[in-house]
Amino acid sequence: MKIAVAGTGYVGLVAGVCFAEKGHNVVCVDIDEAKVRTMKKGISPIYEAGLEDLMKKNFKAKRLDYTVDFKKAYKDADAIFIGVGTPEQPDGSANLSHIATVARQIAESVEKDCLVVVKSTVPVGTNDKVEQFIHDFLINDVKVEVASNPEFLAQGSAVKDTLQAARIIIGTETKWAEDILKKIYKPFNLPVVSVSRRSAEMIKYASNDFLALKISYMNDIANLCELVGADIQDVAKGMSYDERIGSKFLNAGIGYGGSCFPKDTKALEYLAKQHGYKLRTVTAAIDVNKDQKTLLFKKASKRLITFHKLKVAFLGLTFKPGTDDLREAPSLDNVPLLLEQGADIYAYDPVGIDNFKNLYPEGKNGKGTIYYVSKPEDALKGANVCFIITEWDEIKKMKPSDFKKLMRTPLVYDGRNIYSKNEMLKAEVEYHSVGR
């Protein structure tokens, strides 16, 4: 089928590339001409495992292309997928302006019957409004319906999550729309769950918020474990054997980040308030996560008189390994606190440094300074204290003895519970983790 995809971020680009990989003819639309030229060269604008190989393969096979000419891309498409951003607004609601822009472009461009599919995460009821909006601005006498097809990819494994998804959720209001989506996804050979549009929209939020709840619950239990002398890793292991609970998302740490969980929990909380209801569990998850992000800083502040002129090794900047995404990363909460106290931060991350430099240029930042290094060893050399923020393999490969050997004061605050407490003790490292 001929598919157009609006937006070339995580959602749109990965979807478009995977559709092409499954044999569809795909054109990805973006407003940035420089970005389009870069993608045509097979260079991905996002760091995502396996994506560039598939971009090059399918572009060469002429199943995949990129353009800024939305009119040409939309006019004769069988289906148009919307994968643009829905950023969080100050009140927690989703900003739908990009969705509206694309919807109007579609309405003024389509010249044949087509299905518009919203992959972006949107509040329940948005697809109804998008369909009405398109009909309000429709120029040609053609049939256009809107369907919901939320994504469930994780950054760092987005290609795999799309090609080998646990399920495909499609939300439609007619058999015609349902049949088109099933035809598009038939080559994927994956389970398809067909529901109404509003149910599909809610499935996305309910799924993401449940995982956020799980993380915050384990972090809450971890904090209690420290007070009563239990070990959260032992607790999680014991829980994981219960198939009603499962083994995933049980790792305690310094909170969740990224483009989904923080935004989606706040959006669902906002939606509930708009309907006069309070989602107490989701609100609790948000509150726990907010406090958890600066847990290590607070611990270290009690141990140290000040961070002024101390060399601070800061290992990991992105919110998780496998991505260069900084959105809602704990580093964004902790670095400003350290700089405010006049710390000299030596930061390491294998892929996130360039993005972080846009926020905190190397050198003097307020009362403190920040330097970027290419190896974790360079950050640790002569350091007074170390914070481990992201569990990159390059960081996990460090041995307890390395901290003892390289640091001036082997004082480590591990937000991802990477190391064994006993091994750190044997190496004569003062080691603080989460829930142990």
Residues with catalytic annotation? 260
User: Which amino acid, one-letter code, is at 352?
Assistant: G
Q: Left, alpha or beta for 18 (phi > 0: left; psi -120 to 50: alpha)?
A: alpha
Residue found by looking up tokens 């190896």 in the block:
375
Closest CA to 325 of 412, 261, 249, 266: 261
How many whole angstroms separate alpha carbon 355 and alpha carbon 324? 7
In this structure, what token pair is assigned to residue 426? 């044997």
8 Å CB contact between 318 and 329: yes
Contacts 24+ apart (CB under 8 A), 105-108: 105/6, 105/70, 105/71, 105/74, 106/6, 106/74, 106/80, 106/134, 106/144, 107/133, 107/134, 107/135, 107/136, 107/137, 107/138, 107/139, 107/144, 108/71, 108/137, 108/138, 108/139
**Cβ atoms 388, 407 nearer than 8 A:** no
Residues 6+ apart with CB under 8 A from 357: 372
Residue 374 C-alpha from the chain's centroid = 24
Q: If you count DSSP H runs as helices and E runs as strands, how many of each does the chain have, helices first?
A: 19, 15
* CA distance linking residue 71 with residue 163, whole number of Å: 29
Residues 6+ apart with CB under 8 A from 261: 208, 209, 211, 212, 215, 289, 328
Nearest Cα to Cα of residue 318 among 397, 379, 258, 254: 258
Comparing CA positions, the residue from 418, 417, 419, 413 lying closest to residue 432 is 413
Q: Write down the H helix ranges in 79-196.
A: 97-107, 126-137, 158-163, 175-185
* CA distances, 183 to each of 1, 22, 64, 222 (Å): 9, 12, 19, 46
